[in-house]
Amino acid sequence: MVASCAVLLLFFTSCSDPLNVGAELLDEDLASVGFTDTFQLKIRTEIGDSVRAFSPSSNPISTFLFGRTQDNYFGTTEAAIYLQPLLLRDQGGNFVRFDQGRFSVLDSVVLVLPIDSAGIYGMVDGDFGVEVYEVNEPIDVDPDENGSINFYSNVSFGTNPMPLAATTFRPAYRDTVFIKSVISFSDTTAISRPHVRIRLDNSFGQRFLDQDTSAYVNDSTLLDFFKGLYIKPTGTSAGLMNFTANNSFTGIYFYYRDGTDTLTYNLEVGGIGRRISQYKHDYTGAVAGEYIANPSTQDSLIFVQGMQGLLMAFEVPTLKNFPNRVINKAELELHVAALPDYDLTFMPPPLQIVALKKDANGNLTAIRDVTILPNDLSFYFGGQPVKQADGSYIYTFNLSVHTQYLIDGSEPDTVYLSVLPRAGNASRVIFKGPGALGNPAILKISFTDL
């Protein structure tokens, strides 16, 4: 035992009390750990930019919102759709020609739009007004600097002044109504799914009957005389519904008579034609509009919205006076405002909000805390609503890495919060800002002094 203790003395000051080893070093040089939540937050609501709505070379959005809502907080939100129906294909991908020789007498022409309960926002049990217009210019845009074709949600194409249809409908999400029969090599399958049927003007269908057969050689010859459709909401609705425009049954259905037989041909959209969501927001006269116009004085509420709606932008000016510290954890805490005339049951807060920064080109991109575990944001970053016992909601955001970058000056001062995803997502939330009387926005930081 004596020999063992003698050997250990080479490494420790005392064989009997090793906890005292290096005590002098700890007393003199031990780094201090601290905590603060007194940072001044400079927060404002900003209008977001358009979002990519369709690209032929990448996966399109799956939710095609439709409707026009209006409320005191977010103003007017409108979602419309451009569709480019193309020639029908058979199972081998070959064109199915439009046979005017058999389609001698027009019966009716109908726009079929499958619907889905996923992605809806607000109350959608009421009537929706709709107008359908024929597009009179190519649904096309110039390639970007990389040669890619991208359509954005602020896109607009010319249309003929007179609508092909002007009506109302009530979406029946639970009704599986017959759409069409699909004939395979072995049998015929009847397809029944929830959908909206909008009857178009018969003169529109007659035009297809009157065309020369050369108009139906391929998609290009079809698009020479028919560019596409614009489906626009009219009036106001209590929520936004969802058309599944990627579905192969989406399209224009022509019903003709050949003697006593009824024949059908349809132009298909889903999977082949261009389908583009168009979003419009107007905050005139709304509460959000007042906060956007007066960011320096209106900081008690903050507005965040999907589609091409609102972003939260914030800076922490006093972080520049916080040098020589290592950030152990930085957490932004935001409480959802419970307003008396804002129903969180029908307008629930977004399932995911992320933090962004602007790159050298001015484009928004995720901060490092988001990209550490992008497939499981709940594990590290957060950004999901957590319901409290009293029914309120709190969001927390782990900004530890980015806060260190802000202190070091290696990233832009402004951080943005955005709904994820924005395209096809109508969710929105009103947060309590730093000027709120109760539960204001707060940044909590634990740190180590160097």
Give residue-wise pLDDT tens across range 194-251: 889 999 999 999 998 888 888 888 999 999 999 999 999 999 999 999 998 888 788 9
Question: Token digits for 421?
Answer: 């995803």
Return the closest-CA partner of residue 251 out of 270, 236, 234, 238: 270
Burial (CB count <10 Å: 0-12, 13-18, 19+), residue 303:
buried
Question: What is the DSSP-derived secondary structure letter of residue 118?
Answer: T
Same domain, 197 and 343: no
Question: What sign does the dihedral 64-290-312-329 (CA atoms) show?
Answer: negative
Q: What is the number of domains present in the chain? A: 2
Does residue 326 lie within any of the structural domains? yes
Structure confidence at residue 190 as a pLDDT band (50, 70, 90): low
Does residue 291 lie within any of the structural domains? no
**Contacts (Cβ under 8 Å, ≥6 apart) of 245:** 64, 81, 83, 113, 269, 270, 275
Provide the pairing of β-strand 261-268 with 42-47. Answer: unpaired
Return the closest-CA partner of residue 59 out of 255, 281, 376, 271: 271
Does residue 301 lie within any of the structural domains? no
Over residues 70-95, the pLDDT tens digits come to 999 999 999 999 999 999 887 777 88
Q: How far apart are CA 207 and CA 184, in angstroms?
A: 30
Same domain, 326 and 375: yes
User: Alpha carbon of 374 to those of 1, 355, 368, 410, 412: distances in Å?
Assistant: 55, 12, 10, 22, 21
**Contacts (Cβ under 8 Å, ≥6 apart) of 284:** 75
Residue with tokens 């709304």: 286
Asked if the model's pLDDT at residue 183 lies above 50, the reply is no
Q: How far apart are CA 427 and CA 306, in angstroms?
A: 6
Does residue 164 lie within any of the structural domains? yes
User: Alpha carbon of 437 to those of 73, 229, 337, 349: distances in Å?
Assistant: 19, 50, 11, 21
Q: Tell me what the mean pLDDT of segment 317-333 comes to.
A: 88
Indicate the average pLDDT of the chain.
Answer: 86
Does residue 10 lie within any of the structural domains? no
- What pLDDT is attached to residue 174? 65
Q: Percent of the chain having pLDDT more than 90?
A: 58
Alpha helix locations (H) across 194-249? 202-210, 219-225
Angle in degrees, CA 161, 164, 169, rounded to 5:
120
Same domain, 214 and 142: yes
Burial (CB count <10 Å: 0-12, 13-18, 19+), residue 95:
middle
Same domain, 366 and 275: no
Burial (CB count <10 Å: 0-12, 13-18, 19+), residue 261:
exposed
Q: Which of 239, 262, 281 marks a domain boundary? A: 281
Provide the pairing of β-strand 121-122 with 310-315. Answer: unpaired
Residue with tokens 């977010």: 74
Same domain, 43 and 60: no
Does residue 339 lie within any of the structural domains? yes
Same domain, 356 and 236: no
Domain containing 314: what range?
33-47+309-449
Q: Percent of the chain having pLDDT more than 70?
A: 87
Q: Which residue has the higher pLDDT, 157 or 26?
A: 157
| CB crowding 171-206: b at 16 or more within 10 Å, else e | beeeeeeebbeeeeeeeeeeeebbbbebebbeebbe
Cα 150 → chain centroid: 16
Same domain, 268 and 315: no
Structure confidence at residue 175 as a pLDDT band (50, 70, 90): low
Asked if the model's pLDDT at residue 177 lies above 80, the reply is no
Does residue 28 lie within any of the structural domains? no
pTM listed for this prediction: 0.87
Question: Token digits for 307?
Answer: 């589609």
Does residue 321 lie within any of the structural domains? yes
- What pLDDT is attached to residue 434? 94
Over residues 394-427, the pLDDT tens digits come to 999 999 999 999 998 899 999 999 999 999 999 9
Same domain, 233 and 377: no
Asked if the model's pLDDT at residue 10 lies above 80, the reply is no
